[in-house]
């Protein structure tokens, strides 16, 4: 690609002819920064957590997507990854953690159990039939039992696409 051509990333950043300056809006800079550094709050509830942990290991390397800084404190996180079976007892804890996250915040439901309750919700009273019963908005669903780390990466890329298309930098 020649230096004078437009950068195809979003079509909104361009280089001035003959100069070394890029033109863009502050909103696009904020979106780029947000997309490039999504810090997940790991909330592994069952078997899907093993695949989420594997995504952070050297073989899969989630750092390539800017999401390798797994945090244990909700006050430092942008993304809540709910990986696994959501039990009734954990429901209030998840709501509290979501409320403590700063805006803008996003939720990824990883695995069939987090999405619909999976195979465990049929004959038990202690499993919720999906994350939506909690009343928190889910931005990306990643199906599978358990979904592979590649699926988590695909879900992260879909979340990044969604953030790029948002109207305002602050949700």
Structure tokens at 96: 């509290």
Give residue-wise pLDDT tens across range 95-150.
999 999 998 899 999 999 899 888 888 888 888 888 888 999 999 999 998 899 89
136 touches 94 (CB < 8 A) = yes
Query: Which ranges constitute the DSSP H helices of the chain?
Result: 26-36, 48-56, 88-100, 112-116, 149-165
Cα gap 14→30, rounded to integer Å = 17
Q: What is the architecture of the domain spanning 36-165?
A: 3-Layer(aba) Sandwich (3.40)
Structure tokens at 116: 């619909």
User: For the whole model, what pTM was predicted?
Assistant: 0.79
* pLDDT above 60: residue 170: no
Cα gap 26→153, rounded to integer Å = 27
Domain boundaries, the chain: 36-165
Percent of the residues in the chain that have a pLDDT greater than 70, as a whole number: 84
Query: Which ranges constitute the DSSP H helices of 8-87?
Result: 26-36, 48-56
pLDDT class of 16 with cuts at 50, 70, 90: low
Beta-carbon contacts of residue 168 (< 8 Å; ≥ 6 apart): 27
42 touches 55 (CB < 8 A) = no
Beta-carbon contacts of residue 88 (< 8 Å; ≥ 6 apart): 125, 126, 127, 128
59 φ, ψ (degrees, to nearest 5): -70, -40
């Amino acid at each position: 690609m020649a230096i004078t051509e437009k950068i195809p990333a979003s079509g909104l950043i361009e280089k001035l002819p003959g100069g070394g300056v890029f033109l863009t809006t502050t909103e696009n800079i904020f979106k780029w920064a947000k997309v490039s550094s999504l810090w997940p709050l790991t909330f592994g509830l069952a078997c899907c957590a093993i695949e989420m942990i594997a995504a952070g290991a050297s073989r899969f390397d989630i750092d390539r997507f800017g999401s390798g800084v797994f945090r244990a404190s909700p006050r430092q996180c942008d993304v809540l990854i709910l990986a696994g079976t959501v039990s009734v007892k954990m429901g209030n804890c998840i709501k509290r953690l979501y409320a403590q996250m700063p805006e803008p915040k996003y939720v990824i439901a990883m695995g069939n159990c987090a999405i619909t309750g999976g195979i465990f919700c049929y004959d038990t009273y202690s499993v919720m039939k999906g994350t939506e019963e909690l009343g928190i908005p889910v931005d990306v669903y990643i199906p599978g039992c358990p979904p592979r780390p590649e699926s988590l990466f695909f879900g992260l890329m879909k979340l990044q696409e969604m953030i790029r298309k948002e109207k305002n930098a602050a949700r």
